[in-house]
């Protein structure tokens, strides 16, 4: 009996377990998945929680309930992997030997990595929204917020769902307006990047949207520490940004056990080939989703599209054949912009987000890089698709690789604001 062990049952791990269970014979391959608890969170839902949009129950389900029959689920924390021995050690002392290992343990916000962040102001005037508890605490704080400086801040790239801080800013701005207190609040967007976003066309477009909303953008800001007495962000080059309410995206890191296993880079991401996601060090270890170091967005859509390519590659790999699928870094993200509208962006390793129609040329129905109500409804509908189609491993009728059909390449004048 061959053994496949999958670490992590988020979007990538769950989809892989379910898709491979249907493709691997039960009497030839066992599939064991490991996670530290039995709570699967619909993470895109966190964004709406601070504004009272979603409840706890709408974003949390049982992990086990989404796993196909014939997949063994082990609840436990990973101590380390011993890649030379082909075994995973759990903190409980349990050992899980494997023939093939898939690492899908994602990335986690680490407020402990910035001095002052986890200090006395944490969840008093400093909040995150990348955890459900953080988003819920922020909902409470926002309901009491009447005036002052609201600072939205990104600590360092890469982060999970890199458009989410922009979405949060757009939603907060709209929400302040709806409550009639926008003129009493100064909104500041602080980023280590040199624009609103990384890619030139999208950065110029999204930057323009911040400007329209009178959000001040502070660029190239690398935070060194938070001064909790004076309540301000302090950068390495000694700039200071005071806040009354700070909504920060802490440093994101892969799981600590990857460092202990010698598999992680300086942020604990697993170094892999960007097309096959096979480890660069070990021929029987893959890393999929946010846990890998591929130069793509850390996002559920990337996990989803890459799993589609991975499954075919994995079957070839265990048959001793060369892997013929090549993932292109395809990402597809809705960007909420407030007042029940959203944009959609679609891009990959080589092609930045461009305007146009998606998924079909001319008819759409989604508009790329443009605020529409249809895009917003698409984002809301996706929660149902996630639970009912995506996680169970049923086919989603969207191509895994990015297509240029329906996209327009703009001519030079309006897009290339310095990236």
Rule CB under 8 A: which residues touch other proteins?
Answer: 156-159, 162, 193-194, 198-199, 220, 222, 224, 236-237, 265-267, 295-297, 331, 347, 419
86 within 8 A of 99, measured Cβ to Cβ:
yes
Beta strand pairing call for 245-249 and 252-253: unpaired
**Distance separating alpha carbons of residues 96 and 98, to the nearest angstrom:** 6
**Distance separating alpha carbons of residues 133 and 141, to the nearest angstrom:** 12
CB of 225 to other proteins, least distance (A): 11
CB of 270 to other proteins, least distance (A): 14
CA distances from 159 to 23, 208, 258, 299, 376 (A): 33, 22, 18, 9, 23
CB of 29 to other proteins, least distance (A): 33
CA distances from 178 to 49, 50, 142, 354 (A): 17, 15, 13, 31
CB of 234 to other proteins, least distance (A): 11
Q: Is there a cis peptide before residue 359, judged by omega within 30 degrees of 0?
A: yes
Q: With respect to other proteins, which residue has the nearer C-beta, 77 or 235?
A: 235
Q: With respect to other proteins, which residue has the nearer C-beta, 100 or 268?
A: 268
CB of 412 to other proteins, least distance (A): 11
- Write down the residue that tokens 């280590």 correspond to: 192
**Distance separating alpha carbons of residues 286 and 221, to the nearest angstrom:** 34
127 within 8 A of 138, measured Cβ to Cβ:
yes
Q: With respect to other proteins, which residue has the nearer C-beta, 163 or 188?
A: 163
Q: Is 127 helix (H, G, I), strand (E, B) or coil?
A: strand
Q: With respect to other proteins, which residue has the nearer C-beta, 82 or 156?
A: 156
CB of 275 to other proteins, least distance (A): 13
Q: With respect to other proteins, which residue has the nearer C-beta, 235 or 284?
A: 235
Q: With respect to other proteins, which residue has the nearer C-beta, 92 or 416?
A: 416
């Amino acid at each position: 009996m061959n053994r496949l062990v999958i670490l992590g049952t988020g979007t990538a791990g769950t989809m892989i377990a379910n898709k491979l269970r249907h493709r691997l014979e039960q009497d030839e391959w066992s599939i064991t998945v490991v996670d530290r608890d039995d709570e699967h969170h619909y993470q895109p839902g966190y964004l709406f929680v601070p504004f009272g949009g979603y409840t706890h129950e709408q974003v949390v389900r049982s992990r086990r309930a989404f796993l196909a029959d014939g997949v063994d689920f082990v609840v436990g924390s990973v101590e380390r992997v011993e890649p030379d021995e082909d075994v995973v050690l759990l903190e409980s002392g349990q050992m899980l030997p494997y023939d093939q290992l898939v690492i899908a343990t994602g990335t986690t916000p680490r407020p402990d990595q910035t001095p002052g962040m986890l200090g006395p102001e944490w969840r008093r005037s400093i909040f995150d929204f990348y955890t459900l508890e953080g988003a819920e605490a922020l909902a409470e704080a926002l309901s009491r917020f009447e005036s002052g400086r609201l600072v939205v801040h990104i600590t360092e790239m890469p982060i999970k769902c890199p458009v989410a801080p922009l979405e949060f800013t757009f939603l907060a701005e709209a929400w302040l307006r709806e409550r009639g207190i926008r003129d009493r609040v100064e909104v500041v967007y602080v980023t280590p990047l040199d624009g609103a976003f990384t890619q030139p066309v999208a950065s110029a477009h999204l930057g323009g949207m911040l400007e329209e909303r009178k959000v001040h953008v502070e660029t190239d800001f690398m935070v060194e520490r938070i001064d909790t007495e004076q309540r301000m962000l302090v950068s390495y080059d000694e700039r200071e940004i005071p806040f009354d309410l700070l909504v920060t995206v802490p440093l994101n890191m892969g799981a600590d056990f990857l460092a202990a296993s010698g598999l992680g880079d300086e942020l604990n991401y697993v170094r892999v080939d960007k097309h096959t996601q096979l480890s660069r060090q070990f021929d029987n270890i893959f890393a999929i989703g946010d846990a890998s170091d591929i130069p793509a967005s850390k996002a559920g859509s990337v996990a989803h599209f890459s799993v589609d390519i991975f499954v075919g590659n994995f079957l070839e790999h265990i048959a001793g054949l060369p892997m013929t699928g090549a993932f292109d870094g395809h990402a597809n993200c809705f960007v909420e912009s407030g007042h029940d509208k959203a944009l959609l962006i679609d891009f990959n390793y080589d092609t930045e987000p461009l305007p146009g129609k998606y998924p079909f040329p001319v008819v759409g129905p989604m508009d790329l890089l443009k605020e529409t109500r249809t895009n917003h409804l698409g984002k809301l509908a996706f929660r149902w698709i996630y639970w009912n189609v995506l996680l169970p491993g049923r086919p989603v009728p969207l191509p895994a690789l990015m297509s240029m059909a329906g996209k327009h390449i703009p001519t030079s004048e309006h897009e290339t604001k310095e990236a």
